[in-house]
Amino acid sequence: MTTAEPTIAEVIRPPDVWRGPVPADEAWTRPYWEALRRHELSIQRCAGCGAWRHPPVVACPSCGSDDLSFRPASGRGEIYSVTVCHREFGLRFGVPWIAAYVTLDEGVRVATNLVGCRVGDVAIGLPVSVVYQDYDDIGLTLAFFEPTEPAG
């Protein structure tokens, strides 16, 4: 059963059932998805220049090195950019939903959805932390972010 579409005044939660795209099984992204299944955030880091990379890449776009490995990330950061979406866009999310870029403490930005807050609660610079949602029926765990002090 899926949750009803939230109103602007309600706290947004991750979807109960995932009907969106499922990641392809690629060698260079597998460690990221495996870490999520363990409820760990693991981000790719280049040994050549030290840059953090997300989403995962085969070679570092900064220095060209293919010496990339996954490192544990704090899962903490702040909202860099945010938008409230009032259209579904084929992802089958209840509307409204909140899309954001989060700058992790490690310096890398990740695209995500915000949960655990109301539409009016979000702002650039708001501290957030990762939360995990398991979709066992399809063997997928997704990372969402919520304010460090959840609404409601």
**Domain shared by 30 and 46, yes or no:** yes
Find all residues with CB under 8 Å of 142, minimum gap 6, and list them: 14, 18, 36, 132, 133, 135
Range of the domain at 54: 24-73
Strand partners, 132: 143
pLDDT for 88: 77
Q: Using a pLDDT cut of 90, give the percent of the chain over it.
A: 73
**Domain shared by 151 and 123, yes or no:** yes
**Domain shared by 123 and 134, yes or no:** yes
pLDDT for 5: 59
Confidence of residue 1 (pLDDT cuts 50, 70, 90): very low
Q: Are 82 and 114 in contact (CB under 8 A)?
A: yes
**Domain shared by 111 and 37, yes or no:** no
Q: Is residue 34 part of a domain?
A: yes
d(CA 113, CA 143): 8
pLDDT for 20: 83
d(CA 141, CA 32): 10
**Domain shared by 57 and 110, yes or no:** no
**Domain shared by 85 and 147, yes or no:** yes
Q: Is residue 9 part of a domain?
A: no
Amino acid residing at 41 = L
Domain total for the chain?
A: 2
**Domain shared by 103 and 78, yes or no:** yes
**Domain shared by 82 and 48, yes or no:** no
Q: How many CB atoms lie within 10 A of CB 27?
A: 8
pLDDT for 2: 47
What is the end-to-end Cα distance of the chain in Å, rounded?
23
d(CA 21, CA 92): 10
On the 0-12 / 13-18 / 19+ scale of CB atoms within 10 A, 64 is exposed
User: Coil, helix or strand for 120?
Assistant: helix
The overall pTM is greater than 0.85: yes
pLDDT for 150: 53
**Domain shared by 52 and 79, yes or no:** no
d(CA 58, CA 28): 6
